[in-house]
Structure 1
Amino acid sequence: MKKFILGRVRSIGYAFTGFFFLIRTEHAIISQLILAGIFTGLGFYVEISREEWIWQVLAIGLVLSTESLNTAIENICDFIHPDFNTKIGTIKDIASGAVTFAALTAMIIAGLIYIPYFLE
């Protein structure tokens, strides 16, 4: 049991290492965190409802999680094949496309939340 608990604690440590690495080094993550901060401030400003906060937090988490996975996929691709390769390029494009799906979903959620407040 002790070994299990120590393993979980180490796993959490590794997760936070990756978390802080992304925040410090990845420009896309940094940009998206800035946008998340702006929308968080806007949410407080227009006093969105609890349900709207839930959707907003989920949308922000979706974009940041997808961007993090995209970064991991790109790093794996670059490690496996550092030179230009069309198949690797396609893999990277697909991973980037996943981020686009997440970002478009987040924009739709933001529109559904904020447009009614600005139309009042």
Structure 2
Amino acid sequence: MFITRLETDAADDELRTWYESQQAMWGFLPDYAGAFSHRPDVAQAWGALNHTIRGGMDRRRFEIATIAAARARRSTVCTVAHSTFLGAQADPETAATFPPEQLESMLVGRPVATP
């Protein structure tokens, strides 16, 4: 089953306001917005839950946990999106200390070979 997203021009005031808030936050309208387009009240509740969860941890930890969940759900879109957010948080010097094969293992979800 697929959810057909309500486009902005078909949205009521409540949905249009929520779309605008998502656009302002991310710079684009995320794919998940379509999933909530028929129930903006659920979107508000999900946002509150998400904020509560994130409020108890730093952004890096949240992104790592979210990537793990996305991989477990086999969601390529979410894995890529949250990996991008994590990458934006990364210190280039720290990232450079990982051997390329270890970075690849992290990305594809394989265990790192031990010597």
TM-score, normalisation: structure 2: 0.28
TM-score w.r.t. length of structure 1: 0.27
More relative contact order in 1 or in 2 (CA 8 Å, sep 6+)?
Answer: 1
- The structure whose residues are more often helix, as a share, is 1
